[in-house]
Structure 1
Amino acid sequence: MLGLPRGEVFLVPWSAEWGKEFEREKKRIVEVIGQYTVNVHHIGSTAVNGLSAKPIIDIAIEIDYFFDGTQCVTALQGLGYSYRGTNVLPERHYFNKGEPRTHQIHMYQTGNRYLLEQLNFRDYLKSNELVRNEYEQLKLNLSSLNKNDKHKYAEGKTNFVQSILERI
């Protein structure tokens, strides 16, 4: 299942389809903006086997030069993405797709600290079952408490994520 309606927060059990969907979308992205991309990563909880997640595929696109992101807008709009600009989340071009939302793109310049944190956190969860389970329980609790407030849901995860990033 993919798609999170606007204003809702809920988690679904992990699905092997998420990785396949990422690969399909990555191929489409590279076909239209490959000349700008350094790498395309599957990030977020849907990238971690066994972890319940909001049913949205998060994609990180690395580019050499931050300002090249504006050169990619029209091509990504052709794939159904809406460009939300650079002020939604820090130091990235942000795009989303669908209503309900099925995909998000976070476009970073290579070496960006937020990109590195995303990749490090994802990889840590993949290799540490105990922490992955602890994170999943936190997310399940937060999603039930904040069914209509994605910002409170996200804020509730911040301390946990920061504590992990400080360890690794």
Structure 2
Amino acid sequence: MLGLPKGEVFLVPWTEDWLKEFLLEKGRIQEKIGKYILAIHHIGSTAVEGLSAKPIIDIAVEIKEFNDGKHCVSLLESLGYSYKGTNILPDRHYFNKGEPRTHQIHMYQSGNRFLMEQLKFRDYLRNNDKARMEYQELKMNLSKANKNDKHKYADEKTDFVKSILEKI
């Protein structure tokens, strides 16, 4: 299953289909804006085997220069993405696709702090069963408590994420 209706928060069990979908989308993105890209990363919970997640594929696109993101807008729109600008989330161009939402692109300049934190957190969860299980339990509880408030759901995960990032 892929897609999260606007305003809803729910989790589904991890599936290898998420990796397949990421790889397909990575190819589409690379084909359209490859000359601006340094790397494309699968981020977020769908990138961590065994972790339940909101059914949205999060993609980090690493570009050479932040302003290159502006050159990518119409090309990504041709793939069905909607450009949401640079004011939604810090230091990134943000795009989403679908209704219900199926994909999100977070486009960062190479070396960006938020990108590096995303990758470190993802890799830590991939390699640490105990932390992954703790995060799973937290997410399950928060998704039940915040079924219609994605911002509160996300905010209440912050302390856990920070505690991991401080360790690594």
TM-score, normalised to structure 2, is: 1.00
Structure 2: 5+ residue stretches without partners: none
Aligned to 1:107: 107
What percent identity do the matched residue pairs reach?
Answer: 71
Tell me which residue corresponds to 1:153: 153
Give the AA of the match of 1:32: K
- Paired residue total: 168
**Could you tell me how far apart the structure 1 residues matched to 2:7 and 2:43 are?**
22
Query: Deviation of residue 79 (structure 1)?
Result: 0.2
SS in 1 for 2:42: strand
CA–CA separation in structure 1 for the residues paired with 2:5 and 2:123: 28
Whole-Å separation in 1 of the counterparts to 2:114 and 2:51: 21
Q: How does 1:1-168 map to 2 (within 5 A)?
A: 1-168=1-168
SS in 2 for 1:66: coil
The residue type equivalent to 1:78 in the other structure is S
User: Quick one: distance in 2 between partners of 1:93 and 1:166?
Assistant: 26
Structure 1 residue 36 displacement after superposition: 0.2
- What one-letter code is carried by the residue in structure 2 that aligns with 1:111? G
- Give the CA deviation at 1:156: 0.6
Distance 1:35 1:84 in 2: 22
- 1:100 maps to a residue whose letter is P
Query: Matches of 1:124 and 1:141 in 2, distance apart?
Result: 21
- Coordinate RMSD, CA, aligned: 0.2
Residue 83 of structure 1, CA deviation: 0.1
Q: Deviations over 1:16-46 (max 9, x none)?
A: 0000000000000000000000000000000
Report how far residue 145 of structure 1 moved: 0.1
